[in-house]
C-alpha cells in the first residue's frame, strides 16, 4: 500500500466511502457528441475542446467534462433519484501552456429531486473526501440564491452583471462599488453589493451578518437553508473546517442553491468543486434537479512527497548462465519477505538499494557492509 501515490490511495478510499452511501459507479466512453458542448459552452471550464470526425461523419469530442454527459444520459426524474460516482479522464486546455492536458477526475452526482437532505449528504461526502486527502483542508460553502436574490431587483445588462460577478469573485470591494454606481444602482444597492466580498468566515457569525442584508424572500430562504445544513454538519462533527464565503460564485445560468469548493493548504488551487445545477439539468430538457462535485486528482501530483530513501531493498546480481530454477526461486523468496527486489547482471547506475546479493553456486550471498560495492543508501 505504501508504494501508492496519494491520489491512487484516495481513489480507493473514496470509492469505499461513496459505495457505503449507496452511490453506483458510472463508467462512460471517452467520446461524446460535440453538439452537447457547443450548446452549453459556459458550463465548461474552457472554450477549447478536442474534436474529430468519426468514420460515420459525426463530429465527436474528447470529453472535457463528465457532468454534462451524466445529465444527458441520466434516467433520473423527479420521482426517481440517481446517485452516481465516477473516475474518469477529461481533456482540457491548460491556460498556462496553451496545450491540451489530460486531467483525472473523480466525482459524484445526485440527480432527481434535490431536497435539503441531498444537499447535506453531498456536502458531508465532499468534506469526508477532503479529509481523506489531507488533514489541512477547508470546505467553503455559499448559496447562489443569496446573490441572485440580491441582484434580481437590479436592472442590469448582461455585460454589467458579468462585470459585477467578476468583481465579487475577486473580492474587489472598491471597484465593485464604482461599477454599481456606474450601472445606476441606488446607494443602498451599491453598499449591499460592496459588502459581499467581506461576507466570509465561520458559519454562525457570517450568517448573522448576511441576514442583515437580506431584503427578499429568496435571500432569506438561502440563509435558512445554509443554517439548517450547518446544524446538520455540526451534529455530524463536520463543522470545524466548514466556512462560508458569499464571494464564491459559479455561472448564474447553470448553478443555483448551495455551491462549494474545497482546498488543501499545500495546493495552489482548489482540489474540489461542486454545487447544485438545476439550471443545467433543465436546459437539457429534464424536469428535475442535480447536485454533485468533482475532485481534481491530477492536482494532487503537486504535493511534495518525502523522498524515498531507496528504490529497492534488494539488488541481486547474477551471472548469465546461472541455474534458472534456483535463481527464480531465490528472488521469489526475497520478494516474499516483502522486499522490492531487482535482478540484474551488472550494477545499474543510479539505482539506490539497501542490500546487495550475489547469486553464485546456486544460492544467494549477501555482500557485507563496508565492502567495495556497498554504495547503497
Partner 1 sequence: MLTKENGDMLNIALPKGRLGDQVYELLSGIGYDCKSIYEQNRKLIFENPQNNVRYLLVKPSDVAIYVEHHAADVGIVGKDILLESRPDVYELLDLNLGKCRMCVAAKTDYIEDRDRPLRVATKFVNIAKEYYASQNRDIDIIKLNGSIELAPILGLSDVIVDIVESGSTIRENNLKVVEEFQQISARFIANKISFKFKNQIISQMVQRLSEALTER
Instruction: Compute how many other C-beta atoms are within 10 angstroms of the C-beta atom of residue 196.
Output: 25
How far, in Å, CA of 237 to CA of 230, rounded? 10
Over the range 311-325, which residues count as b (16 or more CB within 10 Å of their CB) and which as e?
ebbbbbbbeeebeee
Which cell goes with 213?
A: 442584508
Note the residue count of the chain: 377
Nearer to partner 1 (CB atom), residue 80 or residue 201: 201
How far, in Å, CA of 302 to CA of 269, rounded? 10
CB 179 to partner 1: min, Å: 13
Nearer to partner 1 (CB atom), residue 60 or residue 233: 233
Alpha-helical runs (H) found in 21-142: 34-39, 67-73, 116-133
Nearer to partner 1 (CB atom), residue 34 or residue 260: 260
CB 46 to partner 1: min, Å: 13
Instruction: Compute how many other C-beta atoms are within 10 angstroms of the C-beta atom of residue 235.
Output: 9
Nearer to partner 1 (CB atom), residue 61 or residue 167: 167
Can you tell me which residue has the cell 511534495? 304
CB 243 to partner 1: min, Å: 7
Q: Which long-range contacts (CB under 8 A, 24 or more apart) does 169-175 make?
A: 169/247, 169/248, 169/249, 171/197, 171/198, 171/247, 172/197, 173/197, 173/198
Nearer to partner 1 (CB atom), residue 270 or residue 323: 270
Nearer to partner 1 (CB atom), residue 237 or residue 268: 268
CB 174 to partner 1: min, Å: 6
CB 94 to partner 1: min, Å: 13
Q: Give residues in contact with partner 1 (CB under 8 A).
A: 136, 138, 140, 170-172, 174-175, 243, 263, 265-270, 302, 304
Over the range 133-167, which residues count as b (16 or more CB within 10 Å of their CB) and which as e?
bbeebbbbbbbbbbbbbbbeebebeeebeebbbeb
CB 248 to partner 1: min, Å: 10
DSSP strands (E only) in the chain: 24-25, 31-33, 51-53, 59-62, 82-94, 99-112, 137-143, 200-201, 242-245, 258-264, 272-276, 289-296, 312-318, 341-344, 353-360, 363-366
CA 235 to chain CA mean position, Å: 25
Radius of gyration of the chain (CA): 27
SS3 state at 163:
helix
Nearer to partner 1 (CB atom), residue 242 or residue 288: 242
Nearer to partner 1 (CB atom), residue 171 or residue 363: 171
Nearer to partner 1 (CB atom), residue 78 or residue 302: 302
CB 268 to partner 1: min, Å: 3
Given CA atoms 34, 36, 42, 46 in this order, what sign does their dihedral have? negative
- Half-sphere CA count of 231, side-chain side, radius 13 A: 7
CB 304 to partner 1: min, Å: 6
CB 6 to partner 1: min, Å: 15
User: Are residues 289 and 112 in contact, defined by beta-carbon separation less than 8 angstroms?
Assistant: yes
Given CA atoms 300, 301, 303, 305 in this order, what sign does their dihedral have? positive
CB 39 to partner 1: min, Å: 23
Nearer to partner 1 (CB atom), residue 128 or residue 243: 243
Amino acid at each position: 500500500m505504501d508504494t501508492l501515490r496519494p491520489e491512487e490511495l484516495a481513489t480507493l478510499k473514496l470509492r469505499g466511502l461513496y459505495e457505503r452511501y449507496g452511490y453506483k459507479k458510472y463508467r462512460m466512453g471517452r467520446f461524446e457528441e460535440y453538439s452537447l458542448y457547443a450548446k452549453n459552452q459556459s458550463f465548461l471550464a474552457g472554450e477549447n475542446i478536442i474534436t474529430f470526425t468519426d468514420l460515420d461523419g459525426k463530429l465527436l469530442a474528447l470529453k472535457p467534462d463528465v457532468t454534462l454527459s451524466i445529465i444527458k444520459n441520466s434516467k433520473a426524474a423527479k420521482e426517481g433519484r440517481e446517485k452516481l460516482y465516477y473516475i474518469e479522464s477529461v481533456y482540457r486546455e491548460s491556460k498556462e501552456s496553451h496545450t491540451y492536458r489530460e486531467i483525472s477526475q473523480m466525482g459524484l452526482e445526485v440527480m432527481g429531486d434535490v431536497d435539503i437532505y441531498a444537499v447535506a449528504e453531498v456536502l458531508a461526502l465532499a468534506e469526508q473526501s477532503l479529509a481523506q486527502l489531507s488533514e489541512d483542508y477547508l470546505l467553503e460553502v455559499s448559496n447562489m440564491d443569496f446573490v441572485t436574490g440580491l441582484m434580481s431587483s437590479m436592472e442590469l445588462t448582461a455585460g454589467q452583471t458579468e462585470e459585477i460577478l467578476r468583481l465579487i469573485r475577486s473580492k474587489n470591494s472598491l471597484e465593485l462599488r464604482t461599477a454599481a454606481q456606474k450601472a445606476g444602482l441606488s446607494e443602498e444597492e451599491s453598499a449591499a453589493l460592496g459588502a459581499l466580498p467581506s461576507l466570509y468566515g465561520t458559519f454562525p457569525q457570517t450568517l448573522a451578518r448576511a441576514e442583515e442584508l437580506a431584503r427578499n424572500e429568496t435571500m432569506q430562504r438561502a440563509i435558512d437553508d445554509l443554517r439548517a445544513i450547518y446544524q446538520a454538519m455540526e451534529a455530524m462533527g463536520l463543522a470545524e473546517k466548514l466556512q462560508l464565503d458569499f464571494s464564491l460564485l459559479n455561472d448564474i445560468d447553470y448553478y443555483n442553491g448551495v455551491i462549494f469548493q474545497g482546498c488543501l493548504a499545500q495546493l495552489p488551487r482548489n482540489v474540489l468543486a461542486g454545487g447544485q445545477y438545476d439550471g443545467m439539468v433543465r436546459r437539457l430538457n429534464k424536469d428535475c434537479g442535480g447536485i454533485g462535485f468533482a475532485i481534481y486528482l491530477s492536482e494532487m501530483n503537486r504535493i511534495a512527497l518525502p523522498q524515498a530513501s531507496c528504490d529497492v531493498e534488494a539488488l541481486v546480481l547474477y551471472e548469465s548462465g546461472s541455474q534458472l530454477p534456483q535463481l527464480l526461486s531465490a528472488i521469489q523468496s526475497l520478494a516474499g519477505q516483502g522486499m522490492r527486489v531487482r535482478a540484474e547482471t551488472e550494477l545499474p547506475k543510479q539505482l539506490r538499494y539497501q542490500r546487495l546479493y550475489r547469486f553464485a553456486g546456486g544460492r544467494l550471498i549477501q555482500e557485507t557492509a563496508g565492502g567495495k560495492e556497498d554504495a547503497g543508501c
